[in-house]
Amino acid sequence: MGYVSGQEHALLDFRLSLPEEWARDKQRRQACHVPPEVRYQTRHEQCLEMLDEWGEQVPHGWVTGDDELGRHTRFRHDLRERGERYVLGVPCTTTMRDLEAPLPAYQGRGRRPKAPWQSVTQWRQGLDAQTWAHLTVRDGEKGPVEIEMVRRRVQTRIERKRTGPEEWLVVTRQPLSDDRTLGPRASRDATDQDARHRYHYYLTPTGGSEAALKEPSLGELARVIKAGACIEASFKRGKGEAGMDAYQVRTWPGWHHHMVLSLMAVWFLIGETHRGQSLTPALTLPQVRDGLSLLLLAVFCPLGVDSICRRVQRQLLRNELARFYHHRTRKCLPPRKLRREIQ
C-alpha cells in the first residue's frame, strides 16, 4: 500500500500473501514460524484491511489500483460501502451498458428497450474521433505527459450476470510510440490497442453509501490515474535504493523484519532529501544515499587513493553500461567505443 501526495510518494504498508495450500499446511507453517492467528486472505481482503488501518490516519481523497483489483465487483462494492472514491483499472473484456447512448425506438409493446450490453473494447471502437478530450497530466523527464480521455456513465455486470450500480467509465489512450505508462498494469487483458494507440480502462463510482458524488473532472481523474504510476515508482525506488527485493529469508519473521527495515530506510532517505533540498534544490534521493554511504565508509573504513580510484572506475563503467543498454533497447547501434569495450 502506497501513498501519493502533491510533493512525494512512498510505500506505507505491506502484507505477505500466503497461498491457501500453505495456510492449511501445519508442517509448513511451523517450519516458517507463521503465527497461528494468520489465516488465508485474498488480495482484496488484505487491501481492505490495510485501508481500514490507515484510512483515518492518512488524509486521502481517492483509492487507485490495477485491473486485478478493479475486475472484482465485490471489491468495488466494499469501497463504495466505506465511502471511498476509487479509480480502478478494469480489463478490456469488461461488459457494460452505456447509459448516455440514444435508446432504440419504442415499438409500443412490452418493456421499453435499453442500451445493449457490450464489452468496453466494442464500445470504444464505436466512439467518434471528436469525443476524445486532450489533457496534459504533468511534466515528465522526457517532456510533458499527454493523454486523451473519454468519460461516460455506464452500468456493469456483477456476479451471475446481474446488473450492477451506475459507475463512470474512463478510457485513456496514448500513442504506441509513447513508452511511458500512466498506471499499473497487472494482466494481459488490462489494455488493448489498435494501429495507433494503446487504451486503458477504469471505473469510478457515481455515488457511495451516503450520498451521490460530484461528477469528477477529467483533470482530476487524470491526476489519480497518474498516481498509479507513482506507486510503481515507489516499488522501483525501494528495490533500487533500499534493497527491498534483495532478501534471502525462509521464515515469516525474517521477511517482515527485512520489509520493515527497507521501508524505514526509504522514509529516512526521503526525509533527508527534502531537508537537503533547502540548500541544494536539485538534490535527489540516490545522491543522498551515495553521500551517506561515503560518510559511513569514511568513519568505519578510511579511504585511500586506490579505493577512490576503484570507486570512480566502477562509476564510469556503470555509466558506460547504461549508455550501451540504452542504445540496445532502442534497437540502434551503440557508439564504437562501447561496442569494443563492453560487448
For residue range 151-191, what is the model confidence (pLDDT) as tens digits? 999 999 887 778 888 999 999 988 887 766 555 666 788 88
Across the chain, mean pLDDT equals 84
pLDDT digits (tens, 9 = 90+) for 19-66: 999 899 999 999 999 999 999 999 999 999 999 999 889 999 999 998
Q: Where on the phi/psi map is residue 73: left (φ > 0), alpha (ψ -120 to 50), or beta?
A: alpha
| Distance separating alpha carbons of residues 234 and 242, to the nearest angstrom | 11
Query: For residue 204, what is its C-alpha cell?
Result: 469510478
Quote the pTM value: 0.78
| Alpha helix ranges (H) inside 217-251 | 218-242
Among 114-128, 234-248, 325-339, the range scoring the smallest mean pLDDT is 325-339
CB 262 within 8 A of CB 242: yes
Taking each continuous run of H as one helix and of E as one strand, the counts in the chain are 11, 11
Q: Give me the phi and psi of 153, to 5 degrees please.
A: -80, 125
Query: Per-residue pLDDT averaged across 193-220, rounded?
Result: 80
CA-based radius of gyration for the chain: 25
pLDDT tier, 12 (very low <50, low <70, confident <90, very high otherwise) = very high
- Does the pLDDT of residue 211 top 70, yes or no? no
